[in-house]
Structure 1
Amino acid sequence: MDIRVYRPDDMSGADRAAWTTTQLKAPQHGSSQMANPFLSPEFATAMGRHRRGVRVAVLREDGSHGEPVAFFPYQRTPTGVGRAIGLGLSDCQGLVHGPGFRWEAHELLAACGLAIWEFDHLAEGQQPFEESITGTFPSPVIDVADGWDAYVARMRERSARGTRVRLAQERKLGQAAGGVRYVHDERDPAMLRTLMEWKSAQYRRTGRSDRFAHQWITRLVEQLFHTRTESFSGLLSVLYAGGRPAALHFGLRSQHLLACWFTAYDPVFAKFSPGVSLHLRMAQGAAGDGLAYLDLGRGQRDHKDALKTRELCVSEGWVTRRHPVALAHQARRAPARALRNTVVARPELRRPADRLLRSMGRVRAWKGAS
């Protein structure tokens, strides 16, 4: 196996095209997660322009002049600590490959100069990495391959009353605000800035870490918003009420699916559940665009449970080689990860933790205002 490592911007056009082709063909082979835009060359390139240590390993079976058969995007520190590209931000991670391809995990890490590789959203079908999994979690999806009407019919079979209520919320919002308008692909950068401002306020209000306080994340999202190729685009969708934004979402789209990412809404309209109405509109728009599904991302939320048709699985863990750097990194990270997963998995712990975080958010807001 020939394994060469590149900065994303230094990859040849032929290798990038082969990467894209592998993703485009993946759904035909039953590997829809391989088509996720978080595993695309466009996402790797954008990350490489805003973070150090972003690399892509290109694997060839027939020597250095053979055709590439797999692509492994990752991040690396100078000490050899490896992370899935965009760890903490990306919702799908792993090695992009065709059907039946096998690799040796430790050989790959050695070629990449990694003592350890950490992941938290590993896609299914990554067999050489699976022995290193420490936990597996559901990632809800909305299937729209059969069209919008078929999706609504499936939801009505699950809960006729719940579906009727959710579909009626947008009408009630329009009656209260003076009309509703939906833009599936909003190209106004001002609306993207509004989304990031609202999301930042939501993070602070709920006591979470504010991702948009990091300038590099803001710049990354802005670049992805302006990135458009035949197989990839950043998609901003906006639900307007009374001529003003009520809910906004920014995600990444491939030719097969829409990876949902950042959603925010105006708290003034909270009683109308504008975020749910927005996701329903996004599902309708995705069906019209010929996409197969929307990936709502790992995590338990009421709106995900209400809107999903099924679940994919993503996993977390770390592949390690025998190296002191690997042992030290794992010892530092494992306790916090285990505590977080325990709280998230148990409602009797998750709800008090949410209340505590919100209280901390109110205190933080009060201190900021005083």
Structure 2
Amino acid sequence: MDITVHRPGELTGADRSAWTALQSAAPAMGAPHLANPFLAPEFTLAVGRCRSGVRIAVIREDGRPTAFLPFQRSPLGVGRAIGLGVSDAQGLVHRPGLRWDARELLRACGLSVLEFDHLVEGQRPFDEGLLRPHASPVIDVDQGFGRYLERLRAQSPKFVRTTLAKERRLGRDVGPVRYVHDERDPNALRTLARWKSAQYRRTGRSDRFARPWIVRLVRELFHTRTDSFAGLLSVLYAGERPIAAHFGPRTGSVLSCWFPAYDPAYAKYSPGLVLHLRMAEAAAGASMAYLDMGRGGAAYKDSLKTRELRVAEGWVMRAHPVALGHWARRAPVRALREAVLARPELRGPADRLLKQVGRLRSGR
């Protein structure tokens, strides 16, 4: 097994094609999680245009590339999964049955520690690390949109009936409802960013759209379109007015639900739920397998999901002072956050506190 490490611009066209081929074959080989767009070469290359320290480890067998590990490296040798904090799927994209040694891989990459927050399933050599599993809900549409609605009605008949009724009421009160699955107007993307930024501030969360590199990354992905990957902007209109929108990357089989938002003036119509139903319908029509809503609990995800994937958060380390220092600095904060999220009696007050902070930020 030969391991080489490359900067994004050093990756050859043949290597990129091999990476894409591994992803395309993954669903048929029993590893659909490897087809996630956050594991695509296009996403890594876009991050590389927005952030420093991006590297790609390539594992070759008999001279042929059989696995790719994208990551970001600090000068001290601390590694982070590519796009850590914004990507919803991380790990090694590899051929079926590939076996690798995690510490050997870290050593070849010049890393003492590699951190994940959305490590996908099937990464057994990384399981020896300090990893904690989390649920990541998905919407299955591989059997068609009609079958998906049947499953939703079986889970909660009132939810489907109420959401579709609100969509009809939106059409009567505001204007004819129109859904555009692949909107190419940059103004619509700017509207979505404005809504999302306001939502972050309103709920007391860190505003991702206040970070220039994330704004640039979204713009880069919006303009990235290949046969196997695209940044997809979907918009729900009432008349000519945008009511809700979503932007996220997609491959041929998976759409990642990344940045959804809506105009709060129309909140009574549940436009975010209506938007997700229309996204599911369009994804089914495009013969996609599922929509990945990403890790994290939310009422709307519980209402829409059909099942859950498992992703992991934590570190893979080798014996090194830098690795121990990184763990000592990060572990207490992560443990406190996990304790709050795991206990409903703490999660509720914490959420209310964040919203109060949001109201103070907004001057309300």
Distance across 2 between alignment mates of 1:168 and 1:350:
32
Structure 2 residue corresponding to 1:248, chosen from 233, 245, 258: 245
Distance across 2 between alignment mates of 1:349 and 1:226:
42
Structure 1 residue corresponding to 2:276, chosen from 276, 279, 289: 279
- 1:311 corresponds to 2:294: no
Query: 5+ unaligned residues in a row in structure 1: which ranges?
Result: none
Partner residue of 2:323? 326
* Matched residue count: 364
Partner residue of 1:41? 41
* TM-score, with structure 2 as normaliser: 0.98
Structure 2 residue corresponding to 1:259, chosen from 256, 275, 294: 256
User: Which aligned pairs between 1:281-360 and structure 2 lie closer than 5 A?
Assistant: 281-360=278-357
Q: State the percentage of identical aligned residues.
A: 65
Distance across 1 between alignment mates of 2:303 and 2:188:
27
User: Shift in Å at residue 346 of structure 1?
Assistant: 2.2
1:141 touches 1:296 (CA, 8 Å); kept in 2? yes
User: SS at the partner of 1:366?
Assistant: coil
Distance across 1 between alignment mates of 2:104 and 2:150:
49
Partner residue of 2:170? 173
Distance across 1 between alignment mates of 2:300 and 2:199:
17
- 1:160 corresponds to 2:153: no
Partner residue of 1:98? 95
Aligned residue identity for 1:150: R
User: Shift in Å at residue 133 of structure 1?
Assistant: 4.1
Distance across 1 between alignment mates of 2:99 and 2:131:
21
CA deviation map 1:81-138 (0-9, x unaligned): 0000000000000000011101000000000000100001000000000121431111
Distance across 1 between alignment mates of 2:46 and 2:139:
27
Partner residue of 1:58? 58
* TM-score, with structure 1 as normaliser: 0.97
Partner residue of 1:29? 29
Distance across 1 between alignment mates of 2:158 and 2:108:
56
Partner residue of 2:105? 108
Structure 2 residue corresponding to 1:234, chosen from 213, 231, 236: 231
User: Shift in Å at residue 242 of structure 1?
Assistant: 3.2
Distance across 2 between alignment mates of 1:303 and 1:342:
23
1:8 touches 1:41 (CA, 8 Å); kept in 2? no
Query: Which structure 1 residue ranges, 4+ long, deviate > 6 Å from structure 2?
Result: none
User: Shift in Å at residue 181 of structure 1?
Assistant: 1.0
Distance across 1 between alignment mates of 2:19 and 2:79:
21
- 1:366 corresponds to 2:363: yes
1:133 touches 1:315 (CA, 8 Å); kept in 2? no
Aligned residue identity for 1:296: M
Partner residue of 1:122? 119
Distance across 2 between alignment mates of 1:277 and 1:344:
28
Distance across 2 between alignment mates of 1:221 and 1:161:
36
Aligned residue identity for 2:12: S
CA deviation map 1:305-351 (0-9, x unaligned): 00111111000110111111101111111111111122222222111
Partner residue of 1:73? 70
Aligned residue identity for 2:53: G
Structure 2 residue corresponding to 1:201, chosen from 184, 198, 211: 198
- 1:147 corresponds to 2:168: no
CA deviation map 1:176-202 (0-9, x unaligned): 212211111000001101111111111
Partner residue of 1:138? 135
Task: Output the aligned Cα RMSD.
Answer: 1.0
Distance across 2 between alignment mates of 1:178 and 1:26:
43
Q: Which moved more, 1:335-344 or 1:280-289?
A: 335-344
1:225 touches 1:235 (CA, 8 Å); kept in 2? yes
Distance across 1 between alignment mates of 2:286 and 2:266:
28
Aligned residue identity for 1:7: R
CA deviation map 1:171-228 (0-9, x unaligned): 1211221221111100000110111111111111111111111111101100100100
